[in-house]
Structure 1
Amino acid sequence: MARTNRRWERAPVAFKDLRAFLKKIEAADTLVRVKKEVDFDQEISAAIIKAGAAALFCEKVKGYDIPVVANLFADRRKIELALALQTKNPIEEYLKRLEKLKPPRLVRDGPVKENIVTGNKLDIPAALPIPVVNEKDGGRYISSGIIVAKDPEYGYNLALHRLQIKGKNRAGIYMSELQHLHLYYKRAEERNEPLEIAVVIGCDPSLYLASVVTGPPDLDEYAVAGALRGAPVETVKCKTVDLMAPAHAEIVLEGKILPHKREPEGPFGEFSKYYGPQGNRPVVEFTALCHRDRPLYQTIYLGRRQRDNVFLTSLPKAADLYRAAKEVAPEVKDVYLTPGGCGRYHAVISMKKMFEGEPKLVLSVVLAHRIGVKHAIVVDEDIDIYDPHEVEWAMATRFQFDRDSFFLNDTPIHLDPSSAFKRKTGLLTSKLGMDATLPLDVAYPQVCDVSKEVMKKVEDNWQRYLEG
């Protein structure tokens, strides 16, 4: 037993599948079970909102015998559970794991192949409890589908993309020009070929975290997931496309994005908490539905009161910014992408400033990064960047707009409604960097507080103070 424990401590936890992760969440008392039947038309979303930060398990969905699970990444604690992060600085541990990528391991068979439906029997909206997420969405949307694709030069890509159901075996897909799947599709279209895809719904949490990592086009997110979980992802060959899919996924849809074919897609409530407008976009034709016995359908709520998507995307993106910022300022301590900034648009960076002007080097790197941060604030290491009151205090008392800020104009961004509708520049936006650090060459007023010794005394003996 002791030997097993030591091995467990050396490596991160490797959840084999979604079900193992759900058990871990339930054991941590952060899972709510909804026993009353719910409708796929917005009622699932309303239950997700009502659950707050708790993970949700809807046992009965009207018209379906497949339960729906959601909110599995709804706060920082669940992200730490997903990756078994133990350190005070999760970003450091996250990046350390990525130093050793672990390519996937192909196996002969897996639970996802327990049921395979093809041909005329394929009826995806009848088979799966795909929700209508928000009131004015264009229809039912798969919001939690990890799209697996392959390019002859770049290899595998895994990424989250929305899919609007359009019939028994068809869907519309949105791909930003800034994303690698769009690059893969355009390269296939130039060859007059469809782009084969697999859509993974419900799986080991490391795959979801890997799917939102930023990197070069040839970065294999399967290998990223293996690094994060401490063991290779087991994959199986798909039935109708030349791709590998996770062997222990709950559901996998196989198909292809058709070349030179566009149809109306949208609107859809996006991570920006606004509806993304309708547009003519590529079309997916599905060729197979594979799923486990008694599968679980995992969904991600995107909308004004979203949590899942914000925390899912913020750690990988913050880690990329942290790594880039430390290249110009080694004393950067932490990076936080705030929930109010949709887990993307607003960054707060903690650092120990070594010389004047150094924070602006950090801000330049963060704002230029392809993640798309619009507003970035650098603060001293005494500020808790996860406490918005502390950050606001630093801005209020350590920041002068005329000397401590600068702008970047006409830089690319993804799904920012203010650039599309206020500046009317589409993918181009303006960005603001703010240095809220203390000056090194001025005797600044001291922060007032009780002594650490007295505070510790009271905290350590608080119950005795209450009892008298």
Structure 2
Amino acid sequence: MKDLRYSIERLRKINDLLDINERFSSDLQVSIFTDEVQRRGGPALLFHDVDGSGIPVLMNAFGTKKRLEYLLGREIEDISNYFSSFIEQILSKPSISQGISLYRDLKVLHPTVHGSGPVKDMQGDLKLSDIPILKTWPGDGGRYITLPVVITKDPENGSYNAGVYRMQVYDDETTGMHWQRQKTGYMHMLKAKKLGKTLDVAVAIGVNPSILFSAISPLPEGLNEMSFAGLLMNEEVDLVKGETVDLLYPSNAEFVLEGYVDPDESRAEGPFGDHTGYYTPVEDYPVFHIKRIFHRKNPIYHATVVGRFWSEDAVIADAIQSIFLPFIKLQNQEIVDLYLPEEGVFNDLCIVSIRKSYPGQARKVAMSILSSGQLMFTKYVIVVDDDINVRDRREVLWAVSTRTDPARDVEIIGLSVADSLDHASIYNNAGGKMIIDATVKMPQEGFNRPWPRRIEKDLGKIVESMLRKYGFE
């Protein structure tokens, strides 16, 4: 299985990676420099001298859509089409040739388990303080591991979860574990508590980009992250057994921290400059205890700058919503398109288009969105007709302005689930919702006048040719 180092070399060959040999500090310098490079659409960065640690730091690997697609091995649209076709094949009665193709696809769903791997080349010679873990923003409460693939197993049924949750470094033996209440890792911890046990945890840092992308993605129930990574890579993920934990993890990760979380222990975590553009406040979160650190020879530390708008967060989130739109449309086939704009921090505002055919449909679709997976954290849902491009802010605002009456078309839900990172909600983890029905209204929806026709135009061949002639392509 290809590893992070293979990806770095590929980026270097196409001149999309900048090797930086000057000494940088892990305390703000690396992150602020990276943030400015991200704003300018710059390359991936490999800092070879951070704090004199001897451990290079990779930054901005997913900083542009083009680079993300290159690292994943195909364009986002192709991945989306692939999964759409994959779903259709599973749900339909495939022909013999389709069945053979589906069998080949399904083979990569099952990872291969090895007795050992490169990640176990070295152990016991590094402490957390030896790794150049970054302090990202001036108001952060300390250093944070920002791209950890945190692996846990359900204590009751043995199903695996891999997610990316920030980890604040407290000392060489403990970190915070930012498991929000609705996250699977937190649910595993609650089950361990019920059984009177601690929860084994393995933290992989510096993994194949497809594994990292899968761990970030909000996968449908029942689809394992390592299986999804296998589909993305079109090959089985190589895993290795833990030494002090009953877990499997990527065999060629740069680092793996083995340890546990005690469900009865918590500690103040934060502040942290987050993707909302604000510092999340100090709150109590579970504590991760490190039992052993494994790493490859000459390891590379992979991190990111979490922040608003131009950050890697935005590139990854935009790709995720494109890839998973087929899954969303499978759950609700009335949806034509769906968009989570960057300004809405990708989970506060959802714009959805429908092919409207009956009264009340917009509200019905909006309610289904607010009941679907991670979309349940959405605060504002705007529903438009299918003649509106949900990604064109001008068209959306035009529809809201010309197709709504506030007294009729705005629905306020008084109290529902809220994202833990939403500092504006009424309560922590609970707040209101708003639905805006910006569709053309039917008589049964209280509009009894003729709805005016939208102005349209047909350029015609003569006008088109004249525009081209005079340089107006």
What band does the TM-score fall into relative to the shorter chain?
0.7 to 0.9
Per the alignment, residue 414 of structure 2 pairs with 409
Asked if 1:245 is matched to 2:231, the reply is: no
Q: Distance in 2 between matches of 1:437 and 1:454?
A: 34
Q: Deviations over 1:170-205 (max 9, x none)?
A: 112121111110111121123232211111112112
Asked if 1:394 is matched to 2:399, the reply is: yes
Per the alignment, residue 346 of structure 1 pairs with 349
Per the alignment, residue 360 of structure 1 pairs with 363
Moved more, 349-358 or 403-412: 349-358
Is the partner of 1:60 in helix, strand or coil?
strand
Q: Distance in 1 between matches of 2:384 and 2:133?
A: 43
Asked if 1:17 is matched to 2:15, the reply is: no
Q: Rate the CA distance shift 1:456–1:280 in 2: closer, same or farther, 3 A.
A: same
Q: Rate the CA distance shift 1:454–1:365 in 2: closer, same or farther, 3 A.
A: farther
The total of aligned residue pairs comes to 443
Per the alignment, residue 438 of structure 2 pairs with 436
Per the alignment, residue 153 of structure 2 pairs with 150
Per the alignment, residue 5 of structure 1 pairs with none
Per the alignment, residue 256 of structure 1 pairs with 260
Q: Deviations over 1:211-245 (max 9, x none)?
A: 13335775422112212222221111123222111
For residue 297 of structure 2, the aligned residue among 279, 285, 293 is 293
Q: Rate the CA distance shift 1:23–1:447 in 2: closer, same or farther, 3 A.
A: farther
Q: Distance in 1 between matches of 2:460 and 2:208?
A: 43
Q: Distance in 2 between matches of 1:33 and 1:400?
A: 56
Indicate conservation of the 8 Å contact 2:409/2:437, yes or no.
yes
Q: Deviations over 1:125-184 (max 9, x none)?
A: 21x110001111111100110101112314111011111111112112121111110111
Q: Distance in 2 between matches of 1:29 and 1:403?
A: 55
Per the alignment, residue 115 of structure 2 pairs with 108
Is the partner of 2:245 in helix, strand or coil?
coil
Per the alignment, residue 447 of structure 1 pairs with 455
Q: Distance in 2 between matches of 1:29 and 1:395?
A: 44
Q: Distance in 1 between matches of 2:415 and 2:438?
A: 24
Q: Rate the CA distance shift 1:401–1:416 in 2: closer, same or farther, 3 A.
A: farther
User: Which amino acid in the other structure matches residue 71 of structure 1?
Assistant: N
The alpha carbon displacement at 1:106 in A equals 0.8
User: Which amino acid in the other structure matches residue 23 of structure 2?
Assistant: E
Per the alignment, residue 8 of structure 1 pairs with none
Per the alignment, residue 228 of structure 1 pairs with 232
Q: Rate the CA distance shift 1:97–1:19 in 2: closer, same or farther, 3 A.
A: farther
Q: Distance in 2 between matches of 1:346 and 1:27?
A: 39
Indicate conservation of the 8 Å contact 1:314/1:344, yes or no.
no
Q: Distance in 2 between matches of 1:360 and 1:318?
A: 23
For residue 134 of structure 1, the aligned residue among 132, 137, 140 is 137
User: Which amino acid in the other structure matches residue 348 of structure 1?
Assistant: I
Q: Deviations over 1:256-284 (max 9, x none)?
A: 11342222222222232222222232221
User: Which amino acid in the other structure matches residue 430 of structure 1?
Assistant: G
Q: Distance in 2 between matches of 1:395 and 1:454?
A: 35
Q: Deviations over 1:421-445 (max 9, x none)?
A: xx2x111111122233345785533
User: Which amino acid in the other structure matches residue 63 of structure 2?
Assistant: A
Indicate conservation of the 8 Å contact 2:80/2:324, yes or no.
no
Q: Deviations over 1:325-363 (max 9, x none)?
A: 554444x33222211111222222233333443232221
User: Which amino acid in the other structure matches residue 42 of structure 1?
Assistant: L
Indicate conservation of the 8 Å contact 1:325/1:362, yes or no.
no
Q: Distance in 1 between matches of 2:58 and 2:460?
A: 45
Structure 1 stretches lacking a partner, 5+ long: 1-14
Indicate conservation of the 8 Å contact 2:198/2:262, yes or no.
yes
Q: What TM-score, normalized by structure 1, do the two folds share?
A: 0.84
Q: Rate the CA distance shift 1:115–1:389 in 2: closer, same or farther, 3 A.
A: farther
Q: Distance in 2 between matches of 1:78 and 1:35?
A: 22
Aligned-pair identity in percent equals 26
Q: Rate the CA distance shift 1:324–1:416 in 2: closer, same or farther, 3 A.
A: same
Is the partner of 1:403 in helix, strand or coil?
helix
1:11-410 correspondence to structure 2 within 5 Å? 16-26=2-12, 30-52=16-38, 53-54=41-42, 55-86=44-75, 88=77, 91-97=80-86, 102-117=109-124, 121-126=125-130, 128-152=131-155, 153-214=157-218, 219-305=223-309, 307-316=311-320, 323-330=327-334, 332-371=335-374, 372-410=377-415
User: Which amino acid in the other structure matches residue 409 of structure 1?
Assistant: G
Q: Distance in 2 between matches of 1:446 and 1:454?
A: 24
Q: Rate the CA distance shift 1:390–1:45 in 2: closer, same or farther, 3 A.
A: farther
Q: Rate the CA distance shift 1:429–1:244 in 2: closer, same or farther, 3 A.
A: same
Moved more, 427-436 or 50-59: 50-59
Q: What TM-score, normalized by structure 2, do the two folds share?
A: 0.83
The alpha carbon displacement at 1:320 in A equals 5.1
Indicate conservation of the 8 Å contact 1:188/1:194, yes or no.
yes
Indicate conservation of the 8 Å contact 1:367/1:433, yes or no.
no
Q: Distance in 2 between matches of 1:90 and 1:455?
A: 38
User: Which amino acid in the other structure matches residue 417 of structure 1?
Assistant: D
Q: Deviations over 1:381-401 (max 9, x none)?
A: 343333333333333333333
Q: Rate the CA distance shift 1:340–1:454 in 2: closer, same or farther, 3 A.
A: farther
Per the alignment, residue 427 of structure 1 pairs with 429
Q: Deviations over 1:292-341 (max 9, x none)?
A: 222221112113455212332444456556534554444x3322221111
Q: Distance in 2 between matches of 1:179 and 1:83?
A: 25
Per the alignment, residue 10 of structure 1 pairs with none
The alpha carbon displacement at 1:79 in A equals 4.0
